[in-house]
Structure 1
């Protein structure tokens, strides 16, 4: 009987003295071997018997990732079945890369980093990362997955100006320095910087990861360095491509997931050409995970993703047209979902949103109007707006009191949670808010009680929203009532998501409303990107973020001391491989945010409905639903879900 060694569980540990400094590694702990020989999936058996596929023992890596379901309190599953879900746009097929969550390293259910596609990683001094691949690992088409796929991406894609004019992604640059990349062997490759790069591993585990490898055997067929010029010219004519770079980039879409010819390492393979109706994804016969009984994951054979209008999703769920649905559903759908459980043959669970705030208002410190800009850059103005909001009314009206009335701050699951940060300037105190606004010189009012600005205009705050959640418009009505009591008029303005973002980036948006920080459960190793002015996507300071991202060629540097200090602390976090120093930087940055209120949170830990077919197993009844870290459903391992008949 063939036996495969069980890949043991991993954990991050630290060793002292290696190369004269602290070094962290993914260390192997004791584990059991597979209880049985690998077993063939019934859906693939015919292909194996016909010689179209090798037996499962030859398809798995020599050291597959063996999932310890018992340790996770989960049941062993049976292979088979088709999982139905609903997306609202054809391009949303990319969410199957998010949900599949096969990553070089990924977060486990306690949000600790673990090797996944990689067998292990050795990190020396926080700056030298040696990646070890699993011997015998294969792409979904059966071709070997080796370090050549990393080399090809680094040398022939990331550093090819025709393909990537901007050069390698920012996570691979430390103070502008690119890594030295060394291929040690077919299964070992090293990325080395002269300074620590603490962002590297967490980035590999993101919902949208930087794919630092490519199926080189496939992509080389479209690269000028590897294809005969005449053959490539014929392919360009056939595909009506302007040049080889355009063709290569069009096919090189590992995240978009809409090219069924592109090999993948995800648990399911897209089999459908881009369309606007329906996608079918089949199990990856070469997937690297297996349970300890020898059953190759994923348990579920196929995923069918139907495309439907957002407004129809909840009703289609109640008609039994989805087996697993969380995307597009909001808490306002909960009564309808609960009522339809019997007809739809599902159960509604309430998970918890993992963002630092379910909704937050972002006074744009880069707003183009100089009078409002000065107000928004004044901490007491932001504090007064926060104090005036009746969060209890919002919680009761929108969430039946199930959410938490808090500022933008880490949730309880984070080591950085404190009551002081959660409650900072979040108590309802209209009298104090009025006094603070009076002290700022906004003590004049017009006939209807609206305060007047120094130039005589009314204090009218235009709040822009993408209009994708009914809860936002309902919450803003309540905020408007609260602000009326302090002489501020809220004007609600719905915009398309892309228009809202572009408007904010240009300084034309006054006060966008969005989620709080995506990462509501940060640890010391989490990059504090959302806390510092380093990204234009942060609505608090888009132009300051542009300045950092473009190395000073666009935007402007931070203009106020607290933001400048946040940038200094961010640099300190980046420069340190030591978790204690990283934690110190996080704590200092969180304290600044609690004091300054750069974003005005309304409620957090809001309930998020998810419907689960009554035939589907291993789906947790309580869980965190978050983009990063967590990849929505990804961290909960959809490949371990299974159907019972």
Structure 2
């Protein structure tokens, strides 16, 4: 990174980096080669000497302090640094974390540098303050007050205060002339006007609405996109591009500067590492943030690791080979996200000098699974037939019949080589709504609902729906006698290969029960998206996983123009301007009412109970998303010298910021 300023003056690491490399090369001369037993040949660096300070720091930063290029560590930390508990032991400073990304945007790496205002807990069971010190609601949930940590600094040393948040809100989000960063969806009152935002002082900010917003703080905890992409805007850096504060006549320079902070080495960050260099689509090098605001229990400033070196490798087979050969120090989604790779990686573990962590889960409630369109409109060539198909897809007997007609054990063997459990589609079994004994019982009932293979019961269900073979051609017909063909839209949701294989297997199993089914391959086609939003699909393959349904409600509540209710969801999303209003007493109407009940409830345990009520509708009147399998593990590969990685985690849903929520800043490389 073009290095960090102290009080708006940049220091540069490049010379230091070159010096370190030269020193390391000299130190390595005469040492025995141990490429598989150690990472880069960087000097041993247990937590730094704290004889002159209550805090320790990395040797590379201590050298900068000694050279007068950086303030002492106690001046770089906030008044009350956040103390991060280590997983196993106090770490050692130094080293480079080598890993990969499969796309130029490197979203998987942004998930490692995860530092939102409110964050997911490391055990995935709820939230806690993160970058912000605290947040407090008023009595009716219409106002929230955020308290920032005093003395926070950007990676260049400039203070981080509510002035930066004011710049985001007033100069970017609500600035109609700018347009790239807009008001987030939770930032509006019921009448469409923006919420009231007050910047009380340097460390206090309030948001006020005309109705309760109990879930809004937790939205800020989701992934990198809600805070880091949208709100992490350093005023002191970006003002130089803004027409209101510079000689620029338009917003083009500002747009370029704010398009993606991760690709801009000059952009200050608040995270543990920031970009030092970026070769788009090829490689990125991240460097430690010298003003990072966390310490371990002994006062050592984090992170322990100096650098991250990320190569972009789009080809999955190449990443898998690199992973198996021990090229990556720690890989979560990075080298492989395919559970079927686990046996191969297990076989190669000894030669690759790594350990395969077997309790990191995908968190899938359905993988594969299929959306069943409750708003089907067809292609318009035969409106009467399209209406009859919609009625069939809405028929609970028909949907339950299809569900029990699936041999999920066979599907798992064919698609997953036996990995995963047969189940109905749910959200993540590890979701915090289901952690209590009562919640676990609800989730288990949902997983088992109509999930046992029973072709005789399927035939009875079809008979009750009037779905029989009326012309003797071997295929079941619509109740009117018109022919029926079940179209299975296939895309890349959940992975192209998994989608293809699961759709082919479902087609064959549907054929076996007398349903004429075909696979509609839409991989890479615009129709893959448009057929969902326009409600033209019948079945659509998907991957269902969510840990907090209130922040991403679509799997249970029809609120937007997607999932199983594209038109009824759009009606809700647009306030009735578009889509179709749910019929009174229909599943969609009941689920929308429950959502309103939940978000108006201030007590979290009571909100969990509302989720259970909604799940019961899915059990009784569903499935609306048809499940095949779920709860697969993920191939997490950790080199044997890479320490403080917890044994358990969840990687399927991106919302909790995993692995960022388990504090990668306390990972370390044993020298």
Q: Shorter-chain TM-score: which interval? A: 0.7 to 0.9
Residue number in structure 2 paired with 1:511 = 539
Q: What is the CA-CA distance between 1:167 and the residue it aligns to?
A: 5.2
Which range moved further: 50-59 or 168-177?
168-177
**Number of residue pairs aligned between Structure 1 and Structure 2:** 590
Q: Structure 2 length as normaliser, TM-score?
A: 0.83
Residue number in structure 1 paired with 2:594 = 569
- 1:224 paired with 2:212, answer no
Q: What is the CA-CA distance between 1:456 and the residue it aligns to?
A: 3.0
Q: Alpha carbons of 1:626 and 1:297: their partners in 2 closer, same or farther (altered >3 Å)? A: farther
Counterpart among 343, 351, 359 of residue 343 in structure 1: 351
Q: What is the CA-CA distance between 1:282 and the residue it aligns to?
A: 0.7
Residue number in structure 2 paired with 1:622 = 648
CA distance in 1, matches of 2:63, 2:491: 52
CA distance in 1, matches of 2:576, 2:420: 41
Q: Alpha carbons of 1:574 and 1:249: their partners in 2 closer, same or farther (altered >3 Å)? A: farther
Q: Structure 1 length as normaliser, TM-score?
A: 0.86
Counterpart among 503, 513, 516 of residue 489 in structure 1: 516
Q: What is the CA-CA distance between 1:543 and the residue it aligns to?
A: 3.0
Which range moved further: 563-572 or 484-493?
484-493
Residue number in structure 2 paired with 1:275 = 280
Residue number in structure 1 paired with 2:119 = 106
Residue number in structure 1 paired with 2:301 = 296
- 1:204 paired with 2:220, answer yes
Q: What is the CA-CA distance between 1:80 and the residue it aligns to?
A: 1.0
Counterpart among 531, 556, 564 of residue 580 in structure 2: 556
- 1:132 paired with 2:147, answer yes
Q: Alpha carbons of 1:435 and 1:305: their partners in 2 closer, same or farther (altered >3 Å)? A: same
- Say if 2:82 and 2:294, in contact at 8 Å, map to a contact too: yes
Q: Alpha carbons of 1:559 and 1:167: their partners in 2 closer, same or farther (altered >3 Å)? A: farther
- 1:610 paired with 2:636, answer yes
Q: Alpha carbons of 1:297 and 1:333: their partners in 2 closer, same or farther (altered >3 Å)? A: same
Structure 2 unaligned spans of 5+: 1-49, 379-385
- Say if 2:368 and 2:543, in contact at 8 Å, map to a contact too: yes
CA distance in 1, matches of 2:345, 2:517: 33
Residue number in structure 1 paired with 2:331 = 325
Residue number in structure 1 paired with 2:186 = 171
Q: What is the CA-CA distance between 1:447 and the residue it aligns to?
A: 6.3
Residue number in structure 1 paired with 2:15 = none
Residue number in structure 2 paired with 1:24 = none
Residue number in structure 2 paired with 1:472 = 499
CA distance in 2, matches of 1:405, 1:575: 35
Q: What is the CA-CA distance between 1:174 and the residue it aligns to?
A: 4.0
Counterpart among 307, 317, 321 of residue 315 in structure 1: 321
Q: What is the CA-CA distance between 1:76 and the residue it aligns to?
A: 1.2
Counterpart among 128, 148, 164 of residue 163 in structure 2: 148
Which range moved further: 477-486 or 583-592?
477-486
Residue number in structure 1 paired with 2:486 = 460
Residue number in structure 2 paired with 1:236 = none
Kindly report the root-mean-square deviation, in angstroms, between the aligned alpha carbons of the 2 structures: 2.5
Q: Alpha carbons of 1:161 and 1:526: their partners in 2 closer, same or farther (altered >3 Å)? A: closer
SS in 2 for 1:513: strand
Residue number in structure 1 paired with 2:21 = none
CA distance in 2, matches of 1:529, 1:177: 24
SS in 1 for 2:648: coil
- Say if 2:568 and 2:588, in contact at 8 Å, map to a contact too: no
Q: Alpha carbons of 1:83 and 1:390: their partners in 2 closer, same or farther (altered >3 Å)? A: same
CA displacement, residues 575-607 of structure 1 (integer Å, 9 cap, x when unaligned): 222335423321211111122211011112111
